[in-house]
């Protein structure tokens, strides 16, 4: 599954924090900090307090990183932007975006 800037997200259900760090090129301590700062980022925690992220979590992380790194948002500004985006009726659910990309890949393969 491809996302912004040609980042490849493997097609699996859960990812460890180390895997997410490798996929997104964001250090684990930053990911843990963002969990505390952004309510929309809530990985599942299992025994030993191990974090398990979903594909939607990874898309959220990429969106946060883009807002902060590329658009110059502060943490507070990025929080507000994410809240306004999630409350907006014209934005698409990240799951739908992933599904559309998968369907497009299938169509591309079938067209060949």
Between 96 and 92, residue with greater pLDDT: 96
Calpha distance 42→28 (Å, rounded): 14
SS3 of residue 103 by DSSP: helix
Can you point out the beta strands (E) in 1-112? 44-46, 50-52
The structure tokens listed for 9 are: 């997200």
Least confident of 2-11, 34-43, 83-92, 99-108: 83-92
Between 47 and 18, residue with greater pLDDT: 18
pLDDT at 1: 47
The pTM for the full model equals 0.70
| pLDDT per residue as tens digits for the range 30-53 | 999 999 999 889 899 888 889 999
Calpha distance 7→1 (Å, rounded): 8
pLDDT at 91: 52
Check: CB of residue 72 under 8 Å from CB of residue 38.
no
How much of the chain, in percent, has pLDDT values that exceed 90?
Answer: 50
Domains and CATH numbers, the chain: 4-111 (1.10.1660.10)
Mean pLDDT, residues 72-96: 76
Check: CB of residue 64 under 8 Å from CB of residue 38.
yes
């Amino acid at each position: 599954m491809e996302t912004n800037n040609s980042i490849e997200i493997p097609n699996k259900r859960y990812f460890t924090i180390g895997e997410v760090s490798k996929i997104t090129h964001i250090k684990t301590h930053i990911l843990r900090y963002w969990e505390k700062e952004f309510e929309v980022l809530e990985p599942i925690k299992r025994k030993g307090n191990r974090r398990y992220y979903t594909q939607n979590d990874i898309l959220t992380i990429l969106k946060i990183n883009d807002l902060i790194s590329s658009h110059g948002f502060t943490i507070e500004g990025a929080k507000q932007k994410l809240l306004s985006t999630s409350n907006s009726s014209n934005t698409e659910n990240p799951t739908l975006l992933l599904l559309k990309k998968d369907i497009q890949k299938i169509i591309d393969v079938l067209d060949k």
